Structures are given as structure tokens and as C-alpha cells.
Structure 1
Amino acid sequence: AGEGPAPPRRTREPERATRLETALGDPFDPGNPHGHLALVRADDSREAPRATEALLAEHGLSAEFVPHDLGGRLTDLEELARVLRPLFRRDLALGYGFGITSLFAASSVWTAGDTHQRAALAEVLLGGGRVAIVHREVAHANALLRSEVRAERPPGGGFLLNGSKDAVMNADRTDTFVVHARTRAEGGSGSHSVLLLPGPPASGEVRRLARAELPGMRGARIRGLRLADVRLPDSALVGSLGEGVALALRSFQISHCLIPGTVLAGVDSALRLAVRAATENRSGGRPARRWHKALSGVFADLLACDAMAVTGLRALSLVPQHAYLLAAAVKYTVPDLLREDLEELAAVLGARGYDRGPLYGGFQKLARDLPVAGLGHSGTAVCQAVLIPRLPALARTAWFRTAEPPAELFRQGAPLPPLDHRGLTHSGTDDPLAATLVGAAERLAGRTGAGPLHAALAGLARTLVEELRVLRVRCAALPAAGSTVLDPLACALADRYALVLCAAACLGVWEGQADDDGFLADPAWAVLVLSRIGRRLGVAVPKTPAEADRAVLAEVLGRCRHGRSLDLYDTPLAG
């Protein structure tokens, strides 16, 4: 589809990601055991694709979830996301089911576990096993988060676990569980603790219940789990008693950034399918004019989502003291944007979107899987509970006062310090991304005579800075923290704030390409991204310059023609 030279490759793909992409092969080949046709057939039968799971085991993918100092390959989360994207481009359920949930389970142990606990989990994962997480119950819960386990302190010490969960990923494929259990009847931040169940218990019963039949991710192995009088020693406690909520807030920052940073690879594939449909049997490989805005717009959104997710992933290594709110904003914003984009792409695909063959068969599966992968409304509620209580303080003390973060935060693929799980916090009073927006707008305003696209970008940045000023006034007037989480006005302000942060991340990434001459250094994509964000906010933005639309459309068509990824990294694909 499209004409023109292949876009230059600007960041070196991790060798492990290249090797996995090559091994998984052309997804459109009907004879490929790891292609779309095989994966859709496995999904139809609600089974994990055995051949592909065997391939992932052969590649030792579970070692990606173990920190380097414990013998694994995990050094930073941006690299991990890139290694996982070849898998998530093909099958979100397999990406989850094979092991990424093991990382989410183990993160509390990597963050606060003692030497023995960390070593025990590392041994399980390095041996190709899995670790399952038993979440605590949260408000607005879906099946994965409904009901909970209680842990009492019996005479003689230790813990006695009772309770059940409706849905636990891989409950039938592991004996190793990280349990977020209620250890205090009263609510509040000290109500839960994290306990490690490293294998079959010495007493009591771990019973696997019926398989959960979810509308999406049908091949994932999700079952109910019931713990009956399971006794654990005092040494099972991860961190301190009553620290469970704090540990969840610290360690779940990883999933808040990593989920969007991997599932967007599935939408990359969906956009590729839409380009194929729009250019099929078209003279010169050009889509009909009615599809130009949809294809260029979704591509711009995909770059915006990637910019925000990658910035969050890099922040966890580079500025962990400032990553807490950003991680929640990433998880709050990106899944919704991706769902909107799927709806746009469905219109482009038309009847092809219901095809079950090797060329288009993956689209309906992705449409089913994405809401489950993003944890839907429950994920939104969790992120609202993080963001909304902080908005008044941010408005009063941080916005237009915080210093900008280091420029390396926005240079995707640049070296990062090793991720230190123990350095993750759930506090922070500054807002470096808001500072990036203000700083970028000032720098753009000073670039006179730089051309019409730069002028358009400067105007859009200025408009978004004014939106931040309005947010400062409105958020400063909110009641004290803790009383506004379910207030509709506060939720609407959180929506707007998260979109402003997305725009800031995109400006940061665009500025980070200043020494390059590739597509991301062109202001065209940033103009289109900020225009779409401005329209979502309902603020007055001028008509997008035609040259921005043309440049972005040419890029997406060129990348599809030459088999390149549709994310920030522009890497070669197997098919």
C-alpha cells in the first residue's frame, strides 16, 4: 500500500524482539502455526495455541519477567515492552496468558520481598513456570477483581487463608500464588497484606473452580480459585502487615504502563488490516479519499498512545519519584483511545472485519480481547482513585511551578538506568509532564519563521497551555482529597488532565527528535495528534493543515507497504 521509500530505522530493535518476530513468522501465512488463522482457530475452541506456547517456552520468555540481578533479563520496562510487542501484535490473550501476568504477580515481591522470596519466585519463572496473582476486591470490579481472600492470624502464628476469587489467570497451571488478602476487617489503607504461597500448602486446600467464560481473551486459562483453611507461616508475608494497598499502588505502576505499552501493538495490526482493506484493488495502492482521515488519524492516535506509554515506562527507571501519577494517567487514557480507534477502523474494514480467514480474521478477536486486556471500567475506576485526590494539590502547588524532567525521558530507545523495583513510590507532589507542555509551548513560540507546520504546532501548544490554566482554577476549587473520587465534575477534570498529559508526552517525544531527520522530527504528526486531542477536549482548534494530513497518511501507507511497525520505533516486521 502506498509509494515511496521505506522509512529510515531510527532506533535499534532489541535483538530478542527481532528474534521473536522472526520466529513467529508471517501472521498472514495460512500455513504458519503462529499466524492469524491458527490463532483465531485456537480462540474459537477457547484453547491456548499449543505450538506458539511451545515456541515461547523455547525462547525462554518467562526470563524476561525476572530482574537481571536475580538471573533474568529484566533491566528496564521499555525494552520489555518492545520484546513483547511481536507477541501482542498477534494475540493479546496469549501475551497475557503465557506470562505477562506472572510479572504483575511477582512485582510486589520484586518490590518488597525478602531475599528468599525473591529467589523462590525467580526460580519458578526461570524454570519456565508461572506465578498467579490473587487480587484484592476493588470497587466497580469485573470478574478478575470481584470477591477476595481473608487471612486471619491463628493461635501459634502464621496466617490462615479462606475465600475465593471468581477469575484468576493461570490458576490451573501453577501452584505459586501472590495473594492480596484482607488482614483487617476495617477498611482503609492498612486493610490488606501480600502473602506468598510458593507451592502446595502444608495444610488446607487450594481448589480450582470452573473455568471463567469471558467474552474476550477466550484462549486464556482463567479459573475460579477457592482457598480453604490454607495455613502459611509468618515468612509468607511480603513486606509488612497491612502494607498490601501501598504495595499494590507501588508495584501496579508497572502494569499501568506495560499493559498500554503492549496492547497497542494489537491496534498496530488492526490499522495494518484497515490499510490493506482500503488499498486492496486500488490503482496505485491509494485508499479512497473518504478513508484518508480515518487512517491518518488512527495512526496519529497510535503514535500518541505510544509516546505516552513509552514515557511512562521510561519514567519508572529514570524518574521513579515522579512516575506514580503519570502511570495512572497512561492506563486511564490509552485504552480508551485505542477502543475509539478500533471503532474507526471497523468502519474502514466494513464486511472484511467479520472475515474468519488469514488476512482479516484477527480483527474481531482483537475487538473482543482489548476490553478484557485493559480491565475495562474497573481499570478506569482504579486510575480515577489515584488521579482525582491529587488534582487539587497539583493545581495549587505544582502546575506552572514544577521543573521540566530530563530530556532523556522522551528519547525512546536511549539507554536507561536499571529498573529498581524497590525505588517505586506512590507519592510525589510534582508534575514534570505538565512542565514539559509549558516549556515546549514557550520554545515553539520563540521559533519565528520556522514554517507553517511549526506555527500550527505552536498555536496548538499554546491552546493546551491555556487548557491547563483553566484546569488549575477548576481543580484548585475541588474539595479536599478523598471526597471527590465519584464526583462527576472531578471525573471530567481527570479526563481532561490525562489528555493534556498525553499531549505533553507527544511534544516531549517530538522535541527529542531534534537532532534527527526522520518522520518523528517532522512536526506533521505532532500537529495532527494535538489537533485530535484538542477536539476531544472540545477546545477551539483550527483546521488541521492539509500538509500534516498528507505527510501522516504517506507515512502510514509507506510503512505498511514496506512491512514496518506503526509505533514510535518503525521496526521491520515478518509479514
Structure 2
Amino acid sequence: MTAIDEQTGSGLPPREYDLLRAAIRDTIWTVLDPLAEQIDRTESIPYDIVLPALRECGAFGLLVPAEYGGSGLSIAQYLPIIAEFAKSHGGIRALVHVHNSFAHALSEIGNTEQRAAVLHGAVTGERSLAFALTEPGHGTGADLGSTAVRDGDSYLINGAKWLITNSDLASHFLVFAKTNPSQVSAFLVERHAPGLTIEAMPETMGCKGGEHGRLTFTDTRVPKSALVGADGDGRVHLERALEVSRVFIAASSLGTAEQALDLSLRHARQRVTFGKPIAERQAVQRYLAEMAIDVYALRGMLADAAAKWDAGHRLPAESAMVKQFGLEAVGRVTDRALLVHGGIGYTRQLPIERLYRDARLNWLEEGPPTIQYLVAARELVAGYTFDDAFDPAHGDLTWG
């Protein structure tokens, strides 16, 4: 299994990590996966079952530092776990991803008081941080309409956010707003802040059951202590948070692709036409081989990204590229999985139909393809080079 990072010492010792990963895997396949059909049918996650199960197996505190009671996993240790969630129901995967991803972000960019306000409770799921960036009338990143105006020892926030995952569960939101026309700042805003309203939005194509809501801020007053970092630090915080979270999305793509490949192999061996399994037909074999190539390539990219981050390297280009390759790979893999399964795969009798829909959220999380290409190209044109001296032996990522 994944070793403790040799340079930073981060992560759980191997024995503890093995036990945690086994407990989570058992919870996914014995408690959570049997709920998949119900969640898609009702378009609702049964939180009375799911939240206690996630709490009991330790899935809420995966990236919370040990000083706050969390597991403090390295990134190399975390990726196989979020990939395992992505093999089952996408709605639960999205819930776990957002909770852990932005608890991790707060542990890096928040001050002592902000971390204490959220992270102890994040370990049990009693508290959770959602990422409030996307807006209905604007683009991405610094293209924001939301404003935060200083008023004495407070800020008044006005604006709207939408498609905010976990908006029904979050105790806090990491809100990005302009503090002047050229500066973006980040704020830790409590769910019940006066002037903040939260509304449900229409159900999504896949990853069903979770809420991706709309937040409206109307003279929402937050104390100066809600400012994360300094005034104007929002872009820096945004880049760092999204950088590693894009790697998490790529790992989610890998998990879905691995499951689609495994199910396709099983179906191809069992499905008999004209007297022999379709796995023996050259056309189907090509589909399977193409799927495996994508899985293998994505595993390698993720291992590289995880090892670099755990060794203290930033990933300005790699994160965008692995996220983009991941969504392209899982798209190709689920396309071919549908072809291998044929007409029955297009029905809800088999999980391929759900995996196909769930995978499409990966196109949009942490920025669509146009953004990934822009970020990667911008870094390369500015002179960014891959660190040829980096030794990936300092990181270890074991799948399976």
C-alpha cells in the first residue's frame, strides 16, 4: 500500500492506512453501493444512512490534519480512496470529494481560528466547507460579480452563487468576492449568516441526490475575521485550492473508468453470440484494449502528480493536464463500455448507464476543458517546465 512520504513525513503509517482503506472499501460496497438504485430513482441521498456510515468508516476526516483529529492522509494515500468512491454512486462521491477537498484547502489557507472553527467538526461530518465560486451571470475565476465592501470592522457581501455542491450540508462556505474592481478576496461565511439565503436547484444529469444549490447574499454582514488571508489574496487561494482539487477530480475519473473496464471485461466474457463469448471477437478486444490504455495512462499521471505535491512541489500545469486527460479518458472508456454492453447497457438494469451519466460531471468540476487548456498553455508559454530532476521514487501510489 501507499508509503509515508519520505520527504515530508505526511500521511498515515502503512498499517493504519491499510485498516482505514479496508474499512472505507467495506462501507462503500456493503452499505453505500446497495443504495445506488434508490438514490437515482428518488433523486435523494438517504442522509440518515449515508452520513453515519461515512462518519463511522472515517471518510470525513481523510485530509484533515491529525492535530484536528483527522487522518491527515498524503495526497498519494487519498487518491485511491476517492477513486474507490467513484466506482460506486457519483452523488456520494461528489459529497465526499467536496467535503475533503475544501477541508484540505482550509487547513492550508485558513488561520488558526478559522481552522479550529471548521476542522474539528469536519472529522465527524458535523461541520463541512463548501466552495462558493461559480456565479450565474459571470464566467470563472476572477470574473466575479459578487462584492464585499468594508464597513467598519465588517464586510458586506452582495451577489449570487450557483451550482454550489453540498449546499444542503455545508456549515460554512468559502466565498470569493471582489473587494475592489481589481482584487478578489476569500471569506469564511457561516451558513446562517444574516442575509444569506440558500435555494435548491434542478436535479443534475448524473451524480444524483446531492444538492448543487444557489446562494444569494443580500448585505450579508461578516466580521473582518472572516477574511481568509489578506484582502486581495483570493486569486492565490483560488489557484492553490483548485490546483490539487483538479487532481482529485482526475482520480474520480480513474475510479469510474476502472469500474467501467472491469464491468465490460466481465460482460464480454459472459455474453455469448454465435456460439462464443464476445470477448473473443477482435472488435470487442480492441474496445477493451483502448479502455485499458486510458486507465493505465491516467494511473501514471496521477502517481506523478501525487508524488510531486506530497514532496512540496506545486502543479500549475500538471493539475490542469491530468484533470483534462482524466475527463477525456473516462469519456472514452464509458463510451466503449456502452458499446461492449450493447443495448442492455443503455437501460438501468446494469450500472454502466449510471456510470456513463456520473462521469459527465467530471467535465465541469473545477473548471471545464476550456479552462484546463488555458491554464496549462498559460503556464507553458510563461516558461514553466516539468522538473526533470524530480524523483518519483519519493512518492508511492498503489492502486487496486
Report TM bin, short chain.
0.7 to 0.9
Q: Compare CA radii of gyration and give the structure with the larger one.
A: 1
Name the counterpart of 1:20: 24
Distance 2:298 2:321 in 1: 11
Name the counterpart of 2:309: 316
Name the counterpart of 1:217: 207
Deviations 1:20-73 (A, max 9, x none): 222333xxxxxx65335x302311211114434432122231111312233211
Which of 329, 333, 341 matches 2:321?
329
- Aligned runs of 1:126-205 on 2, under 5 Å? 126-129=123-126, 130-137=128-135, 141=139, 148-154=145-151, 156-186=152-182, 191-201=183-193, 204-205=194-195
Name the counterpart of 1:367: 356
Amino acid at match of 1:271: L
Residue 77 in structure 1 maps to residue 71 in structure 2 = no
Using structure 2 for the length normalisation, give the TM-score.
0.86
> Offset at 1:80?
1.1
8 A Cα contact 2:132 2:174, kept in partner: yes
Which 5+ residue runs of structure 2 have no aligned equivalent? 4-13
Which of 381, 389, 392 matches 1:404?
389
Tell me the matched-pair count.
Answer: 383
Which of 33, 36, 52 matches 1:35?
33
Distance 1:128 1:365 in 2: 27
Amino acid at match of 1:236: A
Name the counterpart of 1:67: 65
Name the counterpart of 1:122: 119
Distance 2:277 2:352 in 1: 25
Amino acid at match of 2:23: R
Name the counterpart of 1:392: 381
SS state at 2:324 partner: helix
> Offset at 1:384?
2.5
Residue 102 in structure 1 maps to residue 99 in structure 2 = yes
8 A Cα contact 1:205 1:227, kept in partner: yes
Distance 2:129 2:281 in 1: 49
8 A Cα contact 2:135 2:160, kept in partner: no
8 A Cα contact 1:102 1:131, kept in partner: yes
Distance 1:412 1:107 in 2: 19
> Offset at 1:343?
1.2
SS state at 1:217 partner: coil
Which of 83, 88, 91 matches 1:93?
91
Deviations 1:188-214 (A, max 9, x none): xxx21110114522xx32211232322
> Offset at 1:241?
0.6
8 A Cα contact 2:308 2:395, kept in partner: no
8 A Cα contact 1:138 1:145, kept in partner: no
Q: Percent identity?
A: 20
Distance 2:372 2:225 in 1: 32
Distance 1:284 1:208 in 2: 53
Cα distance change, pair 107–297 in 1 and its aligned pair in 2 (3 A): same
Using structure 1 for the length normalisation, give the TM-score.
0.61
> Offset at 1:226?
1.0
Residue 236 in structure 1 maps to residue 221 in structure 2 = no
- Aligned runs of 1:488-499 on 2, under 5 Å? none
Distance 1:340 1:224 in 2: 32
SS state at 2:156 partner: strand
Deviations 1:527-552 (A, max 9, x none): xxxxxxxxxxxxxxxxxxxxxxxxxx
8 A Cα contact 2:64 2:104, kept in partner: no
Which 5+ residue runs of structure 1 have no aligned equivalent? 1-8, 26-31, 414-568
